[in-house]
Structure 1
């Protein structure tokens, strides 16, 4: 992308970001129209491509923007004080849900980018998403007290199972052609976490 984008007034930057999120959130990547994005942002398509050289560049910028927005929302002072694995998962989920509820297009874009179809951006997104998952157990849980876990339990596998269950929820909704409901997945995620806590923690920590 062109660094001149960051020299624009904050209001104009946000208009372009919001327009892009809306279009990419409501359409598959290949069907998302840069003409629509430019029109909604109040700029010409030529100017849009001046700041973002092509459609893929714009999409990957939005991916990084969304990732940073969510991270900044979750990683706060209290986050670093939490030492319980499941409490940290719950806190993070609630913070993310609060952010996504205020930004409806952000929710759909985040879901589309984390579960990409076989499109031009898929390889880049899958690589980035896998890197996040692989590294999360190290930086995300750096202050967690893992001594609460039974010796025969692997916290990383529990995290993986929770992600798979979330994946299953999303994929089932897509298969049925039904919308992703944030409240439903939050309730289910809480129930899944409680179930794994009972299975994984030593008795004195239940």
Structure 2
């Protein structure tokens, strides 16, 4: 049975934004700001995770069973997102993929971006995709600003700063990424140059 659509306020929010929920969306999306800081080295628990990834996957599965309204779930999600982006910034993509992503993850090209329509499957293809990206951009700074948890999807608002390797031109954009989960592990990633498009794709709109 489909749910009726309607507008609902997020349970955890620092803004007063309301979201209209489509028929198939979770009725209680939770929004929160992200406190991001650079981490040039792996923390102790990240080193343990890298050595024993099964522990991280077990924890992720337990967190996935918590409702979005759970404060513990929200703290752990915010922590994972912040640390994941910090790892990407320091070039530790392999750790991020091993800890948080399914081995056969589907990574779709950014809607509105140069790679729109492309699809990379699995860790190795995703890593090659990032290599291609860094071949074009000399500097790439990705900073998560907010997350919206709908239960089986996580929308991340990202502020990107990139500098062309040959042109030297600096480009700043506000983008969004939708990660779809199964048992707490990411199985599909979709990115959007337009945040409103991401909300609509996730069954939400402001």
**TM more than 0.5:** no
Q: Greater CA radius of gyration, 1 or 2?
A: 1
TM-score for the superposition, normalised by structure 2: 0.30
Please state which structure has a larger fraction of its residues in strand.
2
TM-score for the superposition, normalised by structure 1: 0.30
Please state which structure has a larger fraction of its residues in helix.
1
